[in-house]
Amino acid sequence: MTQPVASIRWRRLDGPGEDACRLSRQDSGWLLVGHARFDDSALDYVVRCDPAWRTISADVAGTAEGRDVGWAFARDADGWTMNGERQDVPPEARDIDLAFTPATNLMPVRVLQPGQKAGVRAAWFRWPEARLELLEQVYVREDEARVRYVSHTTGFRADLTVNADGFVTDYPGLWRAEEQGDA
């Protein structure tokens, strides 16, 4: 059974684009379903998480540069696969980070309580390169609405604003929520 929990729609700030996402609870855990449109790309994404918010699998499909594209990701005891091929990303990378959407920040945010800090390893789907790499990052949940983010892999830093559901509502310079609510 799938029970809708929340939805959000973002506007891209550094160029044309938008993203809409819905979070649902399932018997087996959590489900994120979204659609991102930006530049010359339109990508649908589905992320499946267990009850502890660890990513089990994800799919991305759509069009980019006028051609059909698609990727299937899965995490198992040996690490991550992309389209069935083993990647150099260890199983300790518990989350997937889809670089083209703010939606996947939800997983690490949901597991942190205010005042907590966590080093998070993620399988990072780099866009537009379409590669899966290890992403070393830190999330600090300052309070209910503020999260400090640091990527040790890229050196990128941001102070994120999040809502009660854990969705980023302000990703400075990149994304801002335009609509949010119950799914």
Q: How confident is the model at residue 62 (pLDDT cuts 50, 70, 90)?
A: very high
**What is the rounded CA–CA span in Å between residue 156 and residue 18?**
22
Residue ranges making up the domain that contains 11: 2-181
The residue with greater pLDDT, 181 or 124, is 124
pLDDT score recorded for residue 181: 73
- Beta-sheet pairing, 2-12 with 175-181: antiparallel
Q: How confident is the model at residue 180 (pLDDT cuts 50, 70, 90)?
A: confident
Q: What is the mean pLDDT of the chain?
A: 96
pLDDT in tens, 19-33: 999 999 999 999 999
Query: CB under 8 Å to 129, separation ≥6 — which residues?
Result: none
Q: How far is CA 96 from CA 65, 120, 125, 182, in A?
A: 24, 11, 7, 24
Indicate the number of domains in the chain.
Answer: 1
pLDDT score recorded for residue 1: 81
pTM: 0.95
The residue with greater pLDDT, 180 or 3, is 3
Residues comprising the chain, all counted = 183
- 170 beta partners: 161, 176
Distance from the first to the final alpha carbon of the chain: 15
**What is the rounded CA–CA span in Å between residue 176 and residue 183?**
18
**What is the rounded CA–CA span in Å between residue 25 and residue 97?**
20
pLDDT of residue 129 exceeding 80: yes
